[in-house]
Amino acid sequence: MSFLRRIFKNEPAEPELQAPPQPLPQRNDPCWCGSQKKYKKCHLEEDRQQLARIREKERAAKACSPAFG
């Protein structure tokens, strides 16, 4: 997609990152979404990836901040 299309597109370029609920359930607990599946079979991997993206975005923002206040 060209640069101008991304600028003038009505949708945001990246979807808003939302953290999973805290505290996260343990692997063998029921999933927080209410699916009656174990957390490890339902949202475990997705939540890990989402948290990794959020942490990476925070690191990038911190790296771009000025060093001296």
Any domain includes 11: no
Per-residue pLDDT band for 57 (boundaries 50, 70, 90) equals: confident
Given a contact cutoff of 8 angstroms between Cβ atoms, the answer to whether 50 and 14 are in contact is: no
Q: Does pLDDT of 5 surpass 80?
A: no
Contact 7, 18 (CB under 8 A): no
Residue 14 lies in a domain: no
Give per-residue pLDDT as tens, 10-42.
Answer: 655 556 666 777 888 999 999 998 899 999 999
Query: Among candidates 51, 49, 45, which has minimal Cα distance to 22?
Result: 51
The number of folded domains in the chain is 1
Instruction: Answer yes or no: is 23 within a domain.
Output: yes
Classify residue 5: in a domain, yes or no.
no
11-36 residues labelled b (16+ CB within 10 A) or e (exposed): eeeeeeeeebeeebbeeeeebbeeee
